[in-house]
Amino acid sequence: MELKPIKVNLDDYPTTLRPYLEDANLYDSSCSADAKVLFSDKDEGYYIKISQAGTLQTEAMMTNYFHSLDLSPKVLEYLSIDKDFLVTNKVIGNDCIHPKYLEQPEKLCDTLAESLRLLHSMSYSNCPVKNRTANYLDTAQKNYIAGVCDKTLLRQCGFKSPDEAWDFVKTNRSLLKTDTLAHGDYCLPNVILYNWKLSGLIDVGFGGVSDRHVDIFWGIWSLYHNLKTNAFANRFIDAYGRTLVDDEVLRLIASIEIFG
């Protein structure tokens, strides 16, 4: 995770957040246009995520739940005023795009798959998002209607048009299950390792009870994206457990993500 030193005006932040920012070196660690993320090196470290009002409520809720399973940082503050502010402590370790992990891609692939299998074995009895699958499909349908389309993924899936891809989704959507505690955005920057052991999961706003193949798809995609090769797809599936993976459902997930 890249950290860029920045200066901020404390008057721009709610008073309850200033103790996390005062007398600290501050860095911009944002990796998305949808939210700004600050890192404060005060104490053991804090992350302050800032986004449009109301957009971080589910993430705060799911982070709390994952924290109860010892899988995520603790939510220290969540404020929703003119903007949303989410403060968490720093998880010990480094994310999976750290050079020391990328330099050992085979070990990284296996560790990611095994960590995902661990997550998917967890109980979801008290999960606050009971049917992420429905949310997932609803979002894709709204985006399809709005004309959102990843043309690169469309071609990779072998579809000639968005309509053809959406017909495939409609025909096969019943294959999706809602039986697994999922991260929802299982990418290398969102997985924190410490000495090659899972230390925590971050950015869990798309998490909930869902279909395991959503996380499997993103794990494979993220290895491809960060290692610039698709050579680890089969290795990831083998390390996760091939008998648990349905290739047709993976293609369905890819088709849904066309309308991400």
Tokens linked to 88: 């968490």
CATH 3.90.1200.10 positions along the chain are: 94-257
Q: 3-state DSSP helix/strand/coil percent for the chain, to nearest 5?
A: 45, 20, 35
- Report pLDDT digits (tens) over 140-195: 999 999 999 999 999 999 999 999 999 999 999 999 999 999 999 999 999 999 99
Tell how strand 75-80 and strand 197-201 pair up: unpaired
Q: Give me the CATH code for the 4-89 domain, please.
A: 3.30.200.20
By annotation, the residues acting in catalysis are 185
Evaluate if residue 1 carries a pLDDT over 70.
no
pLDDT of residue 32: 77
17, amino acid identity: L
- pLDDT tens-digit readout, 2-35: 788 999 999 899 999 999 999 999 999 987 778 9
Q: Where are the alpha helices (DSSP H) in the chain?
A: 18-21, 57-68, 99-102, 105-120, 132-146, 151-156, 162-172, 212-227, 233-240, 247-257
Summary mean pLDDT of the chain: 96
Q: Pinpoint the residues of the chain covered by CATH 3.30.200.20.
A: 4-89
Interval 92-117: pLDDT, tens: 999 999 999 999 999 999 999 999 99
pTM here is 0.95
Q: Is 18 exposed, middle or buried (0-12, 13-18, 19+ CB in 10 A)?
A: exposed
Domain 94-257 has CATH 3.90.1300.10: no
